[in-house]
Amino acid sequence: MKLRDIEHPTEKIDEIEYSEQSSKKLIAVPFAILGVALAVLLVTYLLTGAPVGLGFEFTGGVNIQTQTAVPAEQIEQEFSGIDGVPEPSNVRSISGGAIVSFQPLTNNEMSNLRDFRDANYADASVESVSPSHGTSLLYQSMGAIAFAFVLMTVVIFAFFRTFVPSLGIILSATSDMLVPIGVMTLLGIDVSLGTIPAILLIIGYSIDSDILLTRNTLSGRRKQFYGNVRNAMKTGVTMTTTSMAAMAVMAISAHFFSIFILRNIGIILFFGLGMDLINTYMMNVAILRWYVLDRRGMR
């Protein structure tokens, strides 16, 4: 089989018959997925007091990073037996060592931990974050996400100057962001200073295909609505699937090399981009079809 004989994914786009699909069917799938994600976040909030796990930087505590060939299980046993120090809250392997995490410690507990570190793992680094500083970082990070979302909303409404199409883009971006957060909760990925940029990137990634679709359908002739949708899809699907493939490769590679921050970023962006495909070419198409055709009785 030659390379040119391989069918490109976008070649199937011309076979999609949106005119035969009701708006309720198109909207049902993305709303069902969003509903499941919101249910996961709600249940997690009721059980733990937070919709998603918070990383060390936001909760406060102590991290000790060791550079050793000793297995993580043995390291956990050693650090669990320190007199006057609570047991570690988490121990995870990294390339060439392990990270041992503790909840916030008192001064005496911290002194005992440092004595043990000096005696057994002198080359290990210690990072400590106070709960108050962690809370401050959390508020700043949430503020950055909120600011980015508000700024995106202003730009979208200023660019299109029409309520319904702009609202469709905002709804799509909101779902693109909430669903990966639900996936993070299911997979046990904490919100941290490493994953916050991934959530911010989703906002940027998610609106490019929506803007392309909305611009094509609003600027083109109404009678060519479905053709305009397919033209936008050929570009948008190519961009999104290419990015998803890159994120999948990054996540898999980072997992094997124990680079967990990159792995988590890849997972978050992969699911965010996947949700963007569903929201853009199902929910947003249904909204735009109503705005361009149905409300004028042209379909």
Lookup: tokens for 168: 């469709």
Helix (H) or strand (E) holding 129, with range, is strand 125-129
The pTM for the full model equals: 0.83
Give dist(CA 38, CA 52) in Å, integer.
11
Give dist(CA 203, CA 132) in Å, integer.
29
- Give me the DSSP letters along 230-272: HHHHHHHHHHHHHHHHHHHHHHHHHHHTT-HHHHHHHHHHHHH
Strands (E), 51-109: 61-67, 90-94, 97-102
Give dist(CA 275, CA 206) in Å, integer.
9
What is residue 284's predicted lDDT score, i.e. its pLDDT? 92
What is residue 3's predicted lDDT score, i.e. its pLDDT? 42
Residue 282: DSSP 8-state: I
- Please list the pLDDT of the chain residue by residue as tens digits (299 residues): 454 444 555 556 655 666 566 778 888 999 999 999 999 999 999 998 888 888 888 888 888 888 877 777 888 888 888 888 888 888 887 777 788 888 888 888 888 888 888 888 888 888 888 888 888 998 999 999 899 899 999 999 998 888 999 999 999 999 999 999 999 999 988 898 889 989 888 888 888 889 989 988 887 676 787 888 888 888 888 989 999 999 999 999 998 887 888 999 999 999 999 999 999 999 999 998 888 876 655 55
Of 180, 284, 186, 182, nearest to 228 by C-alpha is 284
Using DSSP's 3-state secondary structure scheme, residue 22 falls into coil
CATH numbers and ranges of domains, the chain = 10-55+132-294 (1.20.1640.10), 61-129 (3.30.70)
Report the 10 Å Cβ neighbour count for 97: 21
SS3 content of the chain, % helix, strand, coil (to 5): 70, 10, 20
Using DSSP's 3-state secondary structure scheme, residue 36 falls into helix
